[in-house]
Amino acid sequence: YKVPNIGYKNENKAISSQLIPFNIDGKITIIPDKFLNYLPFESLEVNNKLWIESAQITYAYSFPLWLLSIENKSNSEFNLVSFAPRYNQSKFQSNRVVNLPFAKEESEKICDVTNGSLFADNQATKSNFINSFTNYSIYHLAMHSYLYADDFEKSCLLFANNEPLYFYELYEYFLPADLVVLSACDTGNGTLIKGEGIMSLSRAFAYSGVKSAVVSLWQVPDKETSELMILFYENLEKGLEKDKALQLAKLEFLKQNPLKSHPYYWSGFVSNGNNSALKTKSYYWFYIIGFGLFTLLILFRKKLIQLRQ
């Protein structure tokens, strides 16, 4: 990976002054246009403060898709599967394929946190992924992806045995998932087409029926991606909304890694689509227990009155 430009702050402030001249707090949905599709707004600075510190930010490809995402509420079950393939070190097209040392570790920890299922190494095949489409509500894909800007339909995810799942294939499938996390490079990046927006792998997943996705805007680093993803799922497990879970994961990453404050390390992943929580917050059990105790108290009181009579 290229070393990030350490002089980005002046550019950041110049862009921020044009796009966000005043601070906006709370939940924000952004429908970017043209080159703004490539920009993670949470990395902008407002009054010398990162926007991620004050706002829950999610994105949408278009206004109709945003309206659809609001209507398509998430299911109440938290049923996750992760795919982390091992590659055979041969070339895929003209690219030398290397293994991602932190991808499997990332998937294992996420499955531990969420009690999810794991397809790793040679089990993380394209066929196992396709055959699982009706079995899970959350898909975590920790693998290589390849972006072909000159022919976006050739862009693909790479499963075990270097088997690709192409952009155009996703339009042939129906994947009714609540969330797909594309923990790979450039999955939210692609060809910019006038009137259509970015032709990315994540967009193809949206049209296949996925309600929401977490995607990358550039070639993300393996180790830092793993750290961020684990923090994200720990927050989802607590019952937080997706945009809030990602916001807090990024802030915690910055807290734990003060020398990696450059946006390259933490802001490349963004949330797109429906941002509702995937799991009821744990404190709802207190309401159930409280209601049960209240009911028992009423019954005990009635029984006590009957005995006195």
Averaged pLDDT, 14-42: 83
pLDDT score, position 284:
44
Which stretches within the chain are classed as H helix? 8-19, 63-71, 101-114, 126-131, 167-170, 201-207, 222-237, 242-256, 263-266, 284-308
pLDDT score, position 301:
60
Cβ–Cβ < 8 Å for 242, 214: yes
pLDDT score, position 309:
57
Beta-bridged to residue 46, according to DSSP, are 49
Q: For the whole model, what pTM was predicted?
A: 0.84
Averaged pLDDT, 127-152: 93
Q: 3-class DSSP state for residue 160?
A: helix
Averaged pLDDT, 146-163: 91
User: What digits encode the pLDDT tens for the residues 61-92?
Assistant: 887 777 777 766 666 578 999 999 999 777 78
Beta-bridged to residue 29, according to DSSP, are 58
Do you know the residue count of the chain? 309
**CA–CA gap between residue 155 and residue 165 (Å, rounded):** 8
User: What digits encode the pLDDT tens for the residues 187-204?
Assistant: 998 888 877 778 899 989
Of 164, 215, 218, 158, nearest in space to 186 by CA: 218
Averaged pLDDT, 21-34: 82
